[in-house]
Amino acid sequence: MKKIYFILITLLLSLSSCNKWLDIQPELEMRKNVIFKNENGFKDVLMGSYIRMGTPSLYGLNTTMALPELMAQHWTPVSATISAYLSNFDFTQTESKNMLETIWLQYYQTILNLNSILEDIDNKQGIFSNGNYELIKGEALGLRAFLHFELLRYFGSTPSKIVASDKAIPYVKSVTKDPNKLVSLTYTEVLENILSDLNAAEKLLEADPILTYSNAVLNSPATMAGVDLTKPHPADDFHYFRQSRFNYYAVKATKARYYLWLGDKPAALENALAVITAANSDATKKFTLGDEAAANNSQLTFPNEHIFAVYNTLSTETLTPVFFNNYTAYTQTATYLNTAFESTLHTADIRYKGNRLWETRVVPLVGNFNFFKKFNGTDSQTAIKDIPVIRLSEMYFIATEAGRADLFRDYRIARVLDASIDASLTTDAAIKDRLEKEYRKEFYGEGQMFFFYKRLAYTKFTWPVAKNVSEAAYKLPIPQSQLVFE
């Protein structure tokens, strides 16, 4: 199934970037009657949306390793560059504005492509087979909700400062160039639309292949050499690689994020547990926490944990220059890293021991430099292609914060952290302190630390150095090209 990414990538990347909201033209807008005449057309548009999400403009770099990580202070900024501007929450510089504009437009261009599917799919229901109508519509609705929620997490207020009647962001449910339909809705309207789309997606995905087959089977198509054909496999090739698609459990995981963002801990816990306890027909776990074997194999994104990941076909071209041979940004000092990973206490942490996550090299005329290896592996110039967007460990963190601190022990054991921390999780303050440390370690380079800070409205960061953070720093400015329609 992943070959579809290669077929469509040339088309996607050949599309010109747009600098005005009304200039957005989804890839298939002008040829919908032709493209949507059969099931394959709907599949192609959906896969094109995933491709766009995997490009450097979004999760291939900007919204995982770059923007949120710089704001979380994870990289050492270089003065008078975008890394310094974003680390200091300076959104007035041209470079900062351009990145935010790119991210905003790419999110909405992806949403418009999904809307092109949703506008036509009900009228063409009869052309689908093998449950693909429900699968495609469910994924499109789920992704639309997910992407709007991502936009809200970036460009909206901190949860504690939300005023329900204030304007938030546009929630776009059609393919349109009418500016009257591109204005921002209230927080209440946006949040209601997100939940409505997630609920509809969950219902449609009740027959998701991920509920029938193990991820091991779904990641091993019957056409691959050496696949165990004694095990049942999907009859439709489109049903493979569900962890790289917005599957049923991605809906549940997004709901867990959504409810925790709004402070509804019981609902967050319910949805997180649905993922944590998900099981295959043989009672084995659907998703398993990463372990020593994975870490030793340079798989520090822990693929078995991926609830939803995007496939970056250009990962080597994009990430190797950033993380393998770049010594001007995207690094951190050894002293700060040792503090972050509590190296004295957690001597056997599977992510940090043996220079697995970071490698110190001597760079001529520069000195010692720490290279980040999560996306390139050990001494490799070939970057990984599956970029995690939601992982199982986050569900453990959500459950821990929402009242099941006992589950943290499973995570602690998997990462081989010192057992002394088990007895420390006795108060909300202690849990918050521990989770701050673990979000940083676990999602370094993946973009989740910033949202932890924002959700809990931290007014001061204490790592790597003390830094005061204002409320305004958390709410990214909506690009000027959108504001003209407000």
What is the enclosing helix (H) or strand (E) of 107? Answer: helix 94-120
pLDDT at 363: 79
pLDDT at 10: 36
Phi-psi region at 241: left, alpha or beta (left = phi > 0; alpha = psi -120 to 50): left
* Spatial separation of the C-alpha atoms in residues 157 and 262, rounded to whole Å: 12
* Spatial separation of the C-alpha atoms in residues 251 and 206, rounded to whole Å: 11
The domains of the chain, with CATH numbers, are: 3-208+458-483 (1.25.40.390), 284-455 (no CATH)
pLDDT at 231: 81
Phi-psi region at 131: left, alpha or beta (left = phi > 0; alpha = psi -120 to 50): left
Which residues in 312-414 belong to E strands, given as ranges?
358-363, 367-372, 386-391
Which residues in 145-252 belong to E strands, given as ranges?
none
Digits of tens for pLDDT over the chain (486 positions)? Answer: 443 433 343 333 333 333 344 444 544 454 677 889 999 999 999 999 999 999 999 999 999 999 999 999 999 999 999 999 999 999 999 999 999 999 999 999 999 999 999 999 999 999 999 999 999 999 999 999 999 999 999 999 999 999 999 999 999 999 876 666 678 999 999 999 999 999 999 999 999 999 999 999 999 998 887 777 778 999 899 999 999 999 999 999 999 999 999 999 999 999 999 999 999 999 999 999 999 999 988 899 999 999 999 999 888 888 888 887 776 779 999 999 999 999 999 999 999 999 899 988 887 777 888 889 999 866 667 888 999 999 999 999 999 999 999 999 999 999 999 999 999 999 999 999 999 999 999 999 999 999 999 999 999 999 999 999 999 999 999 998 776 556
pLDDT at 254: 99
pLDDT at 419: 97
pLDDT at 424: 94
pLDDT at 178: 67
pTM summary value: 0.94
- The structure tokens listed for 360 are 């110190």
Q: Which residues contact 224 (CB under 8 A, 6 or more apart)?
A: none
